[in-house]
Amino acid sequence: MKSARIRRAAVVLLGLLILLVLVGAFVASWPSLMFAAEAVHLSGWGAIGYSVVPDSAVVIALVTLLLLRHDLKARRLAFATLATFTAASLTLNEAHALDLYDGRPVWLLAVAGALPVVGILLASDLLVRAVAVLAPALEEVDESEAQPVIEVPAVEAAEHQVMTREEFEAHNARILAEDVYAEEIAAPHAERPSRTGRGHFV
């Protein structure tokens, strides 16, 4: 019980430290990303949204690595997303720190302009994979409800058997005897021959 509490406290502390690192990195890179947004002719809400893309994509990649650590394709995509946006964020931050935007180099503007499109391409795939793991009921279909069950009556094997001539005659004799018995039950008061021993003459 004590070890479980220690483990829970360690997980909470580690989560808080990671959150502090992410918040600090986001605040530090915010000015350079806003400057990059202005360099590609974005302003207002467009510039704010642009500045959120790199760090958000990195967070999504890290969460996906935890959730889909047993999926090889998801891990590769998450590592590719993490490496791509880490390199892009580092490039934009260094360009702002070195005042490279003044000369407006084409390669730097190309990196800054491609950032939102690449973010949508990679992060959306990771997000769909993560949601599929967190909410598996959304993708599962109950086949018993989707398709009605049709019961097919079983065919007796006796109908497919071939009778011999003797079996056929015995079968007909049994049916004839059953018919005679049924007629006798249906007419219990039918006239029967006299038991007095006297004959009837016309």
Query: Which candidate, 124, 129, 135, places its Cα nearest to that of 57?
Result: 124
Interval 17-28 mean pLDDT: 82
Could you read off the pLDDT of 117-160 as tens digits, one per residue?
898 888 888 888 877 777 766 555 455 555 555 555 554 444 55
What is the rounded distance in angstroms from the CA atom of residue 45 to the CA atom of residue 42?
8
Count Cα atoms within 13 angstroms, Cβ side, for 178: 6
Residue 75 corresponds to which tokens in the numbers above?
A: 């891990």
Percent of the chain with pLDDT over 90: 6
User: Residue 68: pLDDT above 60?
Assistant: yes
Residue 36 corresponds to which tokens in the numbers above?
A: 């990059």
Phi, psi of 199 (to 5 degrees): -85, 160
Residue 176 corresponds to which tokens in the numbers above?
A: 């004839």
**Domain ranges, ordered by start, for the chain:** 2-139, 157-186
As a whole number, the mean pLDDT across the chain is 77
